[in-house]
Amino acid sequence: MDVPQRTLIATADPALLDDLLRLTAAAATEVTVAPDPDQALRAWGRSPLVVVGHDLDHALRAAGPPPHPRVAVVAHGTGDTRGEGVYLLPRDESALIDLFSSVSDRSPAPVVSVVGGRGGAGASLLSVALSLAGERAGLATALLDADPLGCGPDIYLGCDHTDPRTQTGWADLLRQRGRVPWRTLRDGLPRVGRVDVLTWARSDGAEQGHPLPVGAARAALESARRGTDLVVTDLPRCFDPGTTVFLNHSTLVLVVVPADVHSVVSAARMTHRLRQETTRVRAVVRGARGGLSTGMVTTTLGVELGADLPPEPGLSRVLRVGEVPARHPRSPLARYADQVVGSLVTEREAR
């Protein structure tokens, strides 16, 4: 039986160990902890990465361990420069997370982002459909609602009644310091099956209407990619720094465009800018009929076609009575979402 390789942390400093374990949790990396040089030497050769606390550095060097390709020394402190392989906390937290993540067996989850070509185009509905497709595929799925002015995809999923005393939203993340592993974050999130929803708490109006800061966007996305199998982001129709973080890290960006002249003109302004932030943009055209074909829409937008979704007569009734959309197997939204998720899973497995 194969034994998974684990990063070795060698330190007897409790405070330093606590910080390092917090960072490995954020990176979804399993570790072996050695509190003395003897235990560290026993695990040394089979560890892909060795992280030595400054408290044991001298003793380990004196013990003469065999050469190792990846050894880092970590200490609490400050400084303007970092010597080769030496990290200082808390300054180098981000660099250490990247270092821990680099040896993780789990590759980051794919990210599919959805944005409306105009207001009310149905981007949140498609985000919900993609998240439910992830659940049907057996994937742990994170749905990140990055639109501060939207109604929230949790409304469509019917999980907006989570107890506000336990619900975690963007406002909670803005008040936290450092990285939070997804398995810790998800405990307070609204959830449907295997879909966790990070959205805006309606009871906290202080942050409502303001775009996400870059740090919060980057931390949440990194945590979700390391802690789940699929990430879906519901994006606002703007290009603030936080939104560009999601775009720059997206495996696929879908622009939802109703097939009418006004929507296409509005979407053309969006796609011109989207192509500057990401190379993989697809148009999801809804309700094409009559004189405005999908070919005309995609030519005007200058992007490839993702889907030509026909009208869905029962959708209005589903939304009116508060049912969850895109659950029925005949739903065009559900069928397309299954196709997208299946393609993303195949690409990930092929790497």
261 near 230, Cβ under 8 Å? Answer: no
pLDDT digits 0-9 by tens, 181-203: 787 777 788 888 899 999 887 65
Number of neighbouring beta carbons within 10 Å of residue 101: 19
Split at pLDDT 50, 70, 90, the class of 227 is: confident
Beta-strand pair 7-10/50-53: parallel
User: In which residue are the tokens 């973080």 written?
Assistant: 245
- Between the two ends of the chain, the Cα-to-Cα distance in Å is 24
Split at pLDDT 50, 70, 90, the class of 2 is: very low
Split at pLDDT 50, 70, 90, the class of 319 is: confident
Split at pLDDT 50, 70, 90, the class of 161 is: low
The better pLDDT of the pair 209, 158 is held by 158
Q: Which residues contact 135 (CB under 8 A, 6 or more apart)?
A: 141, 192, 193, 194, 195
User: In which residue are the tokens 């999601």 written?
Assistant: 246
Average pLDDT over the chain reads 85
pLDDT digits 0-9 by tens, 294-318: 999 999 999 999 999 888 877 777 7
Residue 191 has φ and ψ, to the nearest 5°, of -145, 140
What pTM was computed for the model? 0.73
Lowest pLDDT segment from 21-25, 36-40, 131-135, 259-263 = 21-25
The amino acid that residue 102 corresponds to is S
What local confidence, expressed as pLDDT, does residue 163 receive? Answer: 57
